[in-house]
Structure formats: C-alpha cells, structure tokens
Amino acid sequence: MEPKIIINIILILLVAWLLGDLFQRLRLPRLLGELVAGLLLGPPLLGWVQPREGLTVLADLGIFFLMFYSGMEMDPRELLEHFWVCLAVAVGGFVLPFAMGYGVAILFGATVFQALFMAMGLSVTALAVQARVLQDMEIHHSKVGHIIIGAAIVDDILALVAFSILTGLAKTGQVDFIRILILGAEVIAFFGGTILLGHFVLPKITRRLTDREAKGFTFALLAALIMGYLAEMVGLHLIIGAFLAGQFVRKEVVEPDLYRRLHDRFFNIIYGFLGPIFFVSLSFFVTLALPRQDWGFLAAVVAVALVGKVGGCGLPVFLIRRNWREALIIGLGMNGRGAVELIVAKSVLLLSIPLLQQGVIKHPLLTDSQFTILILMAFITTLIAPVSLRVAVPPLCSDSDQDFCQLWRGS
C-alpha cells in the first residue's frame, strides 16, 4: 500500500471521528459529520485527499458491509409483513419525483432524454444511506424502519428497470421489451433462489459453525460476497445481495453466541473503519463550480426532489394506514440519496460518449452542469434527510406511543 494512501486513511478517520462526535453532541447523526469531513478534506474545499483506487475499494467495501450489517439487524418477517405498504411507498416515491423532475428539467431547457435521466436521478432512494440514518437514530427496528428499508429495496429495483428502459431508448430509439422481461425473470429468480438458499441450505451449514478460528466470520463474509456477486450477475446492485445475505445470517439462523460475536465484529469494522471512508468519499464528488445561471435550476431540482419524495412516499402510507405521523416520517426518511445516484449519473455520462461519436444522439444524455446538479442534489438531500428526521420526530412523538417513538426516546 502506498504511504499516501495510509496518510489519507489517517486523515479521513481522524477528521470523521472528530466531526462525527461533534454532530452527535448536537443530537445529529454521525453520518453528517462524516459527509462534512469529506467536503473539508476532499476536492470541494481543501483538496488534501483525492479519490484514489485504494480509497475507492475501501469505500465500496464500506457500503457493501454496511448493507450486510443492516440485513443482520432487520427482521425479514417484519419486512414481509409490510410488503404491500413497502411496494406502495416505493412506487409513489418513484413516480411522483420522476414526473415532477421531468417537468422541471424540460422547463429549464433540457432535451427529452436529459429530462428523463434527470427525473430518474430524482426518483432514486439510497438504501445504504437510509439504513445508516435509521441506525444512527436507533429506530431501524420499528415498523417505520422496516417500511423505509423495504421500500428502498423496491425503489432500487424500479430504478434498475427504468435505467434499462431509458438506455435502450437512447441506443435504439425503442423500448426493448424482451430485455425487460429477461431482466424481470432474472430478478425474480435471484430473490427466489436467495430465499431457498437462506431457508434450506444456510441453516444446515451454520448449525455446524463455531467461532473457533473465526470460521463463522469467514462464512459470513463468503455468504455476503457470493450473494453480492449473484445480485450483480442479474443486474442488481451488489448491496441488495449483501442485505439479503445479512437477513439469513441472523439470530434465527446462527447460534446466539456466534451471532453476538459476528454482530460485534461487523459493527466495529463498519462504524470504526469502512463506513466513515464510504461516507467521507461521497462528498468527493461534490463540486461548487456551477455556472451562475444554473443555481436556480439546482434550487428547483432540490425542491422537487424533497417535495416529490415526501408526497410520493407519504401519501400511500396515509391512505393505507391512516396515520399521518408515520406518513411524514416515512416521507422524510426516504429522501436520502447518494451511492446509487452517483452510479446512475456516472453511467449516463459514460454512455453518452460512444453514442455521440456514432451519431446516434445529437446532444449528450446529461450535460456537465446537469451532472453537477444531480450530484449536488444527492448531497443536499442526504444532508437534509437525517436533519429533517431529527427535527420532526420529537414533536411528532410528544403525545404518541408508536414503536418508533418508544425506540427514539430510548436512544
């Protein structure tokens, strides 16, 4: 490992630790301190730490194992119990921001394809960011926490389907229905195979495991990596595979003492090392070099992103459960973006290059300014999500005995 990488890691961990503690003292999630640390250390401000291959690998491992740990923490029976609510929240939280985002982009002069890809960026919810926010506030075991995580998983799948449709349109000018059907079949096969593997194969293996020679830890790593790889094979993001692996390496599957040891080890690795590197590195993509005429566009995009998610996610909850407190908390909780947003925006930029060279399209699928606006929007909403939850929860819980209120009071 290069000495420069070691120095960068030291700086990241030290500043993230100090700012994380500061934000925690202000009763705000540590995540915010880590994001601010990235702004200070990275290209946006001081430029002391630059994106490097070694840091990128560690950041990717951070998001991967954060989702695995989240899967270990979540009860799969609770997720299934709220499946239809999760589906309604995901669809509403995808469709409304998409429609509003498309309209705003067209209003500010974007082409049809640019507007469609920007709209898709506004519709995404970052699963890893939401999991971390809920864990920081210690409400991830509540009904609201399960609904947010379940809806974020469905949202990621919807984003995958939308991305497949839009890229097909950009390349050929028509929707590839066969490819969409194949994609749907692959996703169904992946989830079906994962459930069968988790219920019938893993328990037979884990019953034989002990913590001697760290075999249990190695098994958990293998389960996460294999499921992450299989998720990538069918076109899903690897973090969905990691989350599902964590679902099956749980108290019900693993012997209780081994589960406790695994839980402690992954917690320390993620929250003490890999997690801060991931969230600090998210801020490296932020740039303040935006033309003056585009700041109004940015403000409109951020407003649409916030209102669209709160309305699109909250309204189905209110209609189904008739509980405005849950509706507001879920709407605010679904507003964070981040990793998936970056992946989508970067993929669209890269896709534009060969299509422009081949003359398939006359304008880029995203301009540099539009790319910057999407990244800034993702960063701003990632900052606002935990802050808005922290502000909204106390007054909503002042006279309520809902489970997320009880968990929050005990945090």
199-203, 227-231, 250-254: least confident range: 250-254
The Cα–Cα gap between 260 and 268 comes to 12
Dihedral (CA of 315, 321, 327, 333) sign: negative
Tokens of 55: 């840091």
**pLDDT at residue number 227:** 82
The Cα–Cα gap between 78 and 224 comes to 21
**pLDDT at residue number 407:** 55
30-34, 148-152, 336-340, 351-355: least confident range: 336-340
**pLDDT at residue number 256:** 72
For residue 236, what pLDDT band results from cuts at 50, 70 and 90?
low
202-206, 225-229, 239-243, 315-319: least confident range: 202-206
11 neighbors 41 (Cβ within 8 angstroms): yes
118 neighbors 374 (Cβ within 8 angstroms): yes
- Span 43-57, pLDDT tens digits: 888 889 888 878 888
CA angle 354–360–364, rounded 5-degree value: 65
Pick from 25-39, 184-198, 267-281 the range whose average pLDDT is largest.
267-281
- Span 151-202, pLDDT tens digits: 887 887 787 778 777 777 777 666 667 767 777 777 777 777 777 776 666 6
The Cα–Cα gap between 66 and 281 comes to 15
**pLDDT at residue number 99:** 93
On average, the pLDDT of the chain sits at 79
Residue predicted with more confidence, 375 or 403 = 375
252 pLDDT above the threshold of 60: no
Tokens of 269: 């690795």
241 neighbors 227 (Cβ within 8 angstroms): yes
Which domains are assigned to the chain?
A: 3-409 (1.20.1530.20)
126 pLDDT above the threshold of 80: no
DSSP, residue by residue, 189-240: HHHHHHHHIIIIIHHHHHTT--SGGGHHHHHHHHHHHHHHHHHHHTTS-HHH
**pLDDT at residue number 16:** 92
CA R_g for the chain:
21
- Span 73-104, pLDDT tens digits: 766 666 677 788 888 998 998 999 999 999 99
CA distances from 156 to 124, 187, 277, 313 (A): 7, 12, 23, 14
Tokens of 321: 């459960």
Q: Which residues of 371-398 are buried (b: 16+ CB within 10 A; e: fewer)?
A: bbbbbbbbbbbbbbbbebbbebbeebbe
Whose tokens are 């929707």? That residue is 175
For residue 356, what pLDDT band results from cuts at 50, 70 and 90?
confident
122-131, 286-295, 323-332: least confident range: 122-131
Amino acid at 211: D
Tokens of 187: 């996703």
Tokens of 310: 């709160």
Tokens of 112: 């049809």
9 pLDDT above the threshold of 60: yes
pTM here is: 0.74
Task: Write phi, then psi, for 138 (nearest 5 degrees).
Answer: 60, 35
127-136, 203-212, 388-397: least confident range: 203-212
The Cα–Cα gap between 70 and 63 comes to 10
**pLDDT at residue number 304:** 93
CA 70 centroid distance within chain: 12
204 pLDDT above the threshold of 90: no
**pLDDT at residue number 286:** 75
**pLDDT at residue number 208:** 62
